[in-house]
Amino acid sequence: MTTLRQLRYLVALSEELHFRRAAERMYVTQPTLSAQIQELEKKLDAPLVERGSSRVMLTPLGREIAERARRVLSDVQDIVDLAASSHHGFDGTIRLGVPPTLGPYLLPHMIPDLHAKYPSLRLYVSEGKPSELQSQLQSGGFDLVISPLPIVQADLEMDRLFREPLRVVAAPDHPLASKDTVLRSDLSGQNVLALERGHHLHDQVSRLCEDFGATLLRDYEGTSLDTLRLMAGMGVGLAFLPALYVRSEISGRSEIAVLNLNAPNLFRQIGLTWRKRSVHAPMFKEIAELVRLTADEKLPEITVIR
Residues 145 and 173 in one domain: no
**Closest listed residue to residue 158, CA positions, set 144, 172, 169, 168:** 144
Say which CATH number the domain at 22 has.
Answer: 1.10.10.10
Boundary residue ending a domain (53, 71, 89): 71
Which residues lie closer than 8 Å to 166 by C-beta, 6 or more apart?
204, 208, 240, 241, 242, 243, 266, 267, 268
Residues 193 and 256 in one domain: yes
Q: What's the pLDDT score for residue 138?
A: 85
**pLDDT tens for each residue of the chain, 306 residues long:** 789 999 999 999 988 888 988 898 888 999 999 999 999 999 999 899 988 766 788 999 999 999 888 888 887 877 776 666 555 455 678 899 999 999 999 999 999 999 998 888 888 999 998 888 988 898 888 999 999 998 877 789 999 999 999 999 999 999 999 999 999 999 999 999 999 988 999 999 999 999 999 999 998 899 999 999 999 999 999 999 999 999 999 988 888 999 999 888 899 999 999 998 887 888 899 999 999 999 999 999 999 998
Distance, in Å, from the CA atom of 275 to the CA atom of 129, rounded to the nearest integer, reads 18
| pTM of the predicted protein model | 0.74
Say which CATH number the domain at 77 has.
Answer: 3.40.190.10
Distance, in Å, from the CA atom of 95 to the CA atom of 93, rounded to the nearest integer, reads 6
CA distances from 56 to 11, 14, 226 (A): 13, 9, 32
For the chain, how many structural domains are there in total?
3
Residues 41 and 83 in one domain: no
- Domain housing 31: 4-71
Q: Where are the beta strands (DSSP E) in 128-264?
A: 144-148, 156-170, 182-183, 191-193, 215-216, 238-242, 257-259, 261-262
Residues 82 and 64 in one domain: no
Residues 274 and 131 in one domain: yes
Residues 195 and 238 in one domain: yes
Q: What's the pLDDT score for residue 87?
A: 52
